[in-house]
Structure 1
Amino acid sequence: MSSVEGSTLTREETDLEAEFSSLPEVQRPYQVVVWNDPVNLMSYVAWVFRTYFGHPRERAHQLMLQVHEQGRAVVATGTREQAERDVTAMHHYGLQATLEES
């Protein structure tokens, strides 16, 4: 195997690198994290999870308890753009939320 113009890559590796560099970047999943706060009622937090995310009553209640007891809960996953929209929506509902890469 020969080097390509001083590179440590073989011609085959260089060809593969060129081929894959033209492909669109794969969307990495992001998660929406809601944090505990001393302001919002637990019933309100569960209501937000049901209303905005469409979680069933029991799942919304479980997530609300996780926020309350553990300080945070992952309430949704998706593309970065969707996670950013969800975080903004949580802020509009008065909840503390962030996004992080899954």
Structure 2
Amino acid sequence: MGNHSTWSHTEGQTKARHAEALQPPSMYNVVLNNDNYTPMEFVIDVLQKFFSYDIERATQLMLTVHYQGKAICGVYSAEVAETKADQVNRYAKDNEHPLLCTLEKA
């Protein structure tokens, strides 16, 4: 009997550790930040190219960036969010625009 209670206790600890290990990944908001130089058309292009928004939704988000200073473009796991932000920032730089894409923990 002593062995069974030890086994049950160990099994419970393993289940608890396994449940902790299966927590969903942290999620991050990918945010476009307003500046006074990047053309609105370029922001719409970015939203369509990197976030797959149609023209109407991309225009709405661009206006949010313009009037509110920033807009969340999507919520992703850390690796995907970092990749998207890096792609946008590189694309903006390559096109000589100061548009900045950042991450915020969701």
- How much is the aligned-residue C-alpha RMSD, in angstroms? 2.1
Per the TM alignment, residue 20 of structure 1 is displaced from its structure 2 partner at its CA by 2.7
Distance 1:58 1:91 in 2: 23
1:21 to 17, 41, 48: 17
Work out whether 1:99 is the aligned partner of 2:97.
Answer: no
Q: Unpaired segments of 5 or more residues in structure 2?
A: 1-8, 93-98
TM-score by length of 2: 0.75
Report the 3-state secondary structure (helix = DSSP H, G, I; strand = E; otherwise coil) of the residue aligned with 2:66: helix
Report the 3-state secondary structure (helix = DSSP H, G, I; strand = E; otherwise coil) of the residue aligned with 2:104: strand
Distance 1:42 1:32 in 2: 18
Q: Unpaired segments of 5 or more residues in structure 1?
A: 1-11
Residue in 2 aligned with 1:38?
A: 36
- Give the alignment of 1:52-67 within 5 angstroms: 52-67=50-65
Query: Judging changes above 3 Å, is the alpha-carbon distance between structure 1 residues 16 and 37 closer, same or farther for their aligned structure 2 residues?
Result: farther
Count of aligned positions: 91
Q: Which amino acid in the other structure matches residue 48 of structure 2?
A: R
Report the 3-state secondary structure (helix = DSSP H, G, I; strand = E; otherwise coil) of the residue aligned with 1:39: coil
TM-score by length of 1: 0.77
Which range is displaced more, 61-70 or 87-96?
87-96
Residue in 2 aligned with 1:80?
A: 78
